[in-house]
Each structure stands twice: as structure tokens, then as C-alpha cells.
Structure 1
Amino acid sequence: MTIDDHDHTVMKRILTDEANAPWCAAVGECGLDASEGFPPIDDQIPWFRKQVELAEELQLPLFVHERLAFEQTMDVLKTTTVPVIIHCFTGTQDQCRQYIDRGYFVSVSGFILKENADNCDEVRKCLSEGILPLERLMIETDSPYMGFTNCRQWYVEHNQELISSALNSKKRKRLVQSMYPNVPTSLLGVLDKVVECLQQHDQSITKDQVAAATTANAKSFFGFKFGE
């Protein structure tokens, strides 16, 4: 298969048309990942730069994925003027500070509920030590990924009739105990842990306050109009 300039023009027009559609809230998920199994970072960077250029051209926010590629990500983003969110943050306290200093939003997932994962304590400390302020915070599940113990608890509790009729006891037990695939309703567990961490820095913070603030941040960042 070959791709000529005409093909690139057509592809860009398709992307531009999609990005201008009312349902398009951001450019992404895009970014850099130096984890095992991914292409070399030097091969990823040109594509990431093009995605940033597209976001600039269309004036859409950037929904950024960064894994083990902090310096390269910061370099690509250094001149961008559109809003940026670092999705599913798994970095260090110092990296979080630098993201916040740039004015980026940082999103926290069920990663903070993993006891043995690399850097999970670092992410919790970003919350408990006031590094990640509420006005720059969002929360997410990253489902079906980033599962954690009991991530399906709310789903199971509220769908007992459906689950009981569709699955035998062994499959029900596996459904409850397995961490994958993660489910969107695990957001409640993420919220609880985020509140617990934030309260170590400020005991006056409430669950309702965090839920309202992170929802408002998401609505503002992505231009959502629900609830208005």
C-alpha cells in the first residue's frame, strides 16, 4: 500500500470534518508512550506533533497520554496554546508540579487504588500534599483498563437481578472478583480515594465538593453543556 499527497489531503479533510462536528470535544487520546511493546519514541514524536498542530488549527483541547516520556511530551507541548489535560496520570510529584505550572489539567484514575504499582504512592501524594489543586483536577476510570480490587462492586450491587439470571455462581464470583475489564461505575471508587487523599491536606474538603469541582472542570475543559 502507498500513500501519496492526495491521500494525506483527503485524510486531513476527514479528520478536520470530524473534529468540527458537535460531538468532538478534544483531539486525543494522543501522546507518547515509552512502555515496553510500543514503537520507539523518536518514531512517535512526529505523529504527536501533527496531532498538536491539528488541535491548534481547530482550537480544540488536547487529551494527552504520557507514559515514561515526560521530557519529550513537555518538549512537544511547550508552544501549544490550547488547553491540555494529562490523562490517567501515573507520574511523579515533580512531574505533576511541572504540568500544573504549565496550566495543564491532570486526571487521576483507579491507579491510585493499586497498592503495588510503580508510582501509585507518588500520585496519591500529589493529592495529599496539595501539589494537584482541586481547580486543576479531573477524575476518570480509564475503563476497561486501570481496574482495581472491587472496581465492579457498585455495578454488581445494582444489577443483581440481571447478573443472577444470566450467570451461574462461578461466573458471578469471577465477575465480582476480577479487576478486568474495568467498568465506568468504578468512578465512585476513584472519587472516594481522591477525597481521602485530599483530606490529608485539607480536612474541610468534602466528597460533594470534589464531585462538583471535577465535574465543573470537565464541563469547562471539554465544553460540555449537560446539566445547564
Structure 2
Amino acid sequence: MLVDSHAHLDDKRFDNDREDLIKNLRENNIEFIINPGADLKTSRKAVKLAKENENIYAAVGVHPHDAGDMDENTIAELKKLAKEEKVVAIGEIGLDYYYDNSPREIQKKWFKEQIKLAKELDLPIIIHDRDAHEDTYNILKEENDEKLRGIMHCYQSSLEMSKQFIELGFFISLAGPVTFKNAKTPKEVASGVSLDNLLIETDSPYLTPHPYRGKRNEPKHVKHVAQMIADLKGISIEEVIQKTNQNAKKIFGIK
């Protein structure tokens, strides 16, 4: 059974068939998925989906795109949501210097505040890092202690930098881009990072893997990510599935 460690089933692109898709998860060999929030509204939706469905768990957090809308009340509500049943992480949080939808100093401020919340609640964090690798690493290093842990979601940086994140207690999560024909760096990461430190995800409905690029992504496509990692490492897909499943249960505290 596969684990999709990051999917946004609350997204409006699933409005027409969400119930059927969730009902068919087991049929498609998906044991469970983690559904992270990106703001308060989607965090509430993630919690609701997790409560209603046995094979969905939630994370709550505010994405860097919306960091400019945050204040202390936001943190207070995230704290309340994070104590709900089946919330297993704070996320997705982090830095995005590609779009810069929020000023960078504001992004950094609320990234740090959400890290502190996760440590207070003893939860892992799910990190969005786009074109902000150095600042992301420096903040994590600054905040590093025995409680800091988490996932580098849809990892996009180098193999060398992945080792630095792993040293800080983070798993490297690979998504659809590792299957793209010209994706040199994700393939290097998949080959070079030990299975002990890898997770797999879809980031549905985004980043659809080959051969379904251009269509809506779904959790069932996570098997293509697993297959590519297996091919690159020269091992069986069963080995990749078993280990990434164990890793997901370990980091999210799911028995």
C-alpha cells in the first residue's frame, strides 16, 4: 500500500468527484494521504476531510503566498486547529521567492512563528521552499533543536543541499517532477538520497507525473514517482513503497 504524503484534495478541482476519489483510494492501493492546508480556510477544510475519512490525515498552516495576511490571531487559530484529531503536522509553510506574493521579511517572520508553534505542539513541519533554499536552511538551522523535524515537500534543490536538510532531521519528499524527462536534479536527488530519508507525494492536483502531464494529478499517480525512484536506484518498486510508507508513518506519528 502506497502513502501519498502531500495532496490537496480540498482543492476546487476535486469538487465534482472528491467523494468518489476518496472512496477509491484503497482500490488504487493508497493506504492514506496527508492533506495540508495553505491558509486558514483550507486548513479548516483539511481537518474536516480528515475527520470524515479514515484514510486522510491533515496538516494545518499558512503558505508563504498568504504570509502577508497573517497576525497573532492566525497563529492562535492554527494552534486550536492543530489540536484537532488527526492533525499530524504544521504545513505547508515556508518561503517562496519565485512569486514573492508576500514580502520576503514577512514570509520569514511567519515561517519562524509557525516553526515555533510546531515545536510547542511537538509536531513535524511540511516545508514549501521555492527559490529560497539558503534562507530556508538558515532559518531551520537557527531553530534547530530536538523537537524540530519535518519534510522538504516537493524537494527542488540540489543533492548536496539535501544532505544538509537531512542532517537537521528532515525527510526529502519527491513528486511528479522526478519523472519528467529533462529533470536532471530531481533524478540526482532520487539516486543519491538513501531510501531511509525519502518520502513520495503527488501534490495533487498539481505536478502531474509523466505520462499524465497536462491532466489533473491524483493520489493514485504516486506510484509513478515510486517507480521512477526504483528505476533510478536499480531496486524493486515494492522496496521503495515499503520504505517510504514506513518513513511517512514515522515522521507523522501514524501507527
* Helix, strand or coil at the partner of 2:229: helix
| 1:100 pairs with one of 166, 169, 181 | 166
| 1:208 pairs with one of 231, 238, 244 | 238
| 1:146 pairs with one of 177, 191, 207 | 207
The separation in 1 between residues aligned to 2:168 and 2:204, in whole angstroms, is 27
TM-score scaled by length of structure 1: 0.74
Q: Higher relative contact order at CA 8 Å, sep ≥6: structure 1 or structure 2?
A: 2
The separation in 1 between residues aligned to 2:176 and 2:72, in whole angstroms, is 40
The separation in 2 between residues aligned to 1:9 and 1:107, in whole angstroms, is 30
| Matching of residue 127 in structure 1 with residue 193 in structure 2 | no
2:99 alignment partner in structure 1: 36
**Structure 1: 5+ residue stretches without partners:** 1-6, 152-177, 200-204
Aligned-residue CA RMSD (Å): 1.9
The separation in 1 between residues aligned to 2:175 and 2:228, in whole angstroms, is 10
Segments of 4+ moved more than 6 angstroms: none
The separation in 2 between residues aligned to 1:9 and 1:133, in whole angstroms, is 39
The alpha carbon displacement at 1:104 in A equals 1.2
The separation in 1 between residues aligned to 2:74 and 2:156, in whole angstroms, is 33
The alpha carbon displacement at 1:115 in A equals 2.5
**Which structure features the higher share of strand residues?**
2
**Which structure features the higher share of helix residues?**
1
User: Which residue identity lines up with residue 103 of structure 2 in the other structure?
Assistant: P
The alpha carbon displacement at 1:37 in A equals 5.1
The alpha carbon displacement at 1:9 in A equals 5.9
Contact persistence 1:137–1:214 (CA under 8 A): yes
| Matching of residue 58 in structure 1 with residue 88 in structure 2 | no
- Between structure 1 and structure 2, the one with the greater Rg is 1
* Helix, strand or coil at the partner of 1:215: helix
Contact persistence 2:154–2:203 (CA under 8 A): yes
The separation in 1 between residues aligned to 2:196 and 2:168, in whole angstroms, is 14
Contact persistence 2:75–2:114 (CA under 8 A): no
Contact persistence 2:89–2:123 (CA under 8 A): yes
User: Which residue identity lines up with residue 254 of structure 2 in the other structure?
Assistant: F
The separation in 2 between residues aligned to 1:8 and 1:68, in whole angstroms, is 25
The separation in 2 between residues aligned to 1:14 and 1:184, in whole angstroms, is 28
Contact persistence 1:34–1:40 (CA under 8 A): no
The alpha carbon displacement at 1:40 in A equals 3.3
Distance 1:8 1:126, change over 3 A: closer
2:80 alignment partner in structure 1: 17
* Helix, strand or coil at the partner of 2:87: coil
2:181 alignment partner in structure 1: 115
2:137 alignment partner in structure 1: 74
**Structure 2: 5+ residue stretches without partners:** 1-69
The separation in 1 between residues aligned to 2:72 and 2:101, in whole angstroms, is 27
Q: Across the two proteins, how many residue pairs are aligned to each other?
A: 183
Deviation string for 1:22-66 (max 9, x for gaps)?
Answer: 211000000001113533322211110111011011110011110
2:216 alignment partner in structure 1: 181
The separation in 2 between residues aligned to 1:39 and 1:14, in whole angstroms, is 20
The separation in 1 between residues aligned to 2:103 and 2:160, in whole angstroms, is 25
The separation in 2 between residues aligned to 1:70 and 1:192, in whole angstroms, is 27
1:196 alignment partner in structure 2: 231
Deviation string for 1:49-85 (max 9, x for gaps)?
Answer: 1110110111100111101101110111112332121
The separation in 2 between residues aligned to 1:65 and 1:77, in whole angstroms, is 13
The alpha carbon displacement at 1:10 in A equals 5.0
1:47 alignment partner in structure 2: 110
The separation in 2 between residues aligned to 1:9 and 1:31, in whole angstroms, is 17
